[in-house]
Homo-oligomer: A and B are copies of this chain.
Amino acid sequence: MEEKDLESLVKAVQKAVFVELEASGRHVHVTEAEAQRLFGHGLTPKRPLSQPGQYLANERVTVIGPKGEFQNVAVLGPERKEAQVEISLTDARTLGITPPVRLSGDVRNTPGAVLVGNQGKVTLEQGVIIAQRHIHMTPESSKAMGVRDQQVVRLQVFTQRPLIFEEVQVRVSPQFATYVHLDYDEANACGFQPGDLGRILP
């Protein structure tokens, strides 16, 4: 076998076995109308994220809770139909709120927060969640790994402080790239470094 064939074989096997980890810091999603109020214009892309079409915006906000605030918080684009603030449990303590652990998009009966941009302020009645750990997956990865959309799996991570995350939700879409998303508490608990890999356990 030639060197480059071997290399592509190894890569194919890796792709069928391992999923790259990513840590999501605290961030905010806003609607078009909210972007107008906060910044006087729609979101503008600073750099693309791993998920196709998603980007880190140039715009930043302050997130204010009853007990504390975070300045300079990342806003992710494009705009969504509903605002969402994703923070860690550590962050929640600082803000003084107790959001539930939820999958992105499920914001019913969650606490709110105040967002402040360079042009204005928005008071969210709800929308603050602790993002449930999940795996974004292409249909190809889903097939290769033998898991389906909505499946809940155990994920072993090969990190400095190795552990196995239970109850990790798989989400499959042709719009996704295959990555595990952890929050910073989870990333720190396992000693995550960029490039670290995980493996779905049978």
Interface residues of A (CB under 8 A from B): 88-90, 101, 132-133, 154, 156, 160-167, 183-186, 188-191
Contact = CB atoms under 8 A, between A and B. Distances in A.
Contacts of A167: 161-162
A170 B191 CA distance: 20
Contact of A163 (B88, B164, B183, B191): B164
A88 B161 contact: no
A160 B191 contact: no
Contacts of A189: 183, 185-186, 188-190
A87 to B, nearest CB: 11
B88 A188 contact: yes
Interface of A, helix, strand, loop or mixed by DSSP? mixed
How many copies altogether? Answer: 2
Given A165-B163, A167-B161, A167-B162, A191 B101 contact: yes
A104 to B, nearest CB: 16
Given A163-B165, A164-B164, A189-B189, 20 more contacts: A88-B188, A89-B188, A90-B90, A90-B184, A90-B185, A101-B160, A101-B161, A101-B191, A132-B161, A154-B164, A156-B166, A162-B167, A163-B163, A163-B164, A163-B166, A183-B189, A185-B185, A185-B188, A185-B189, A188-B189
A106 B191 CA distance: 19
A165 B163 CA distance: 4
A149 to B, nearest CB: 21
A55 to B, nearest CB: 24
A164 B161 contact: no
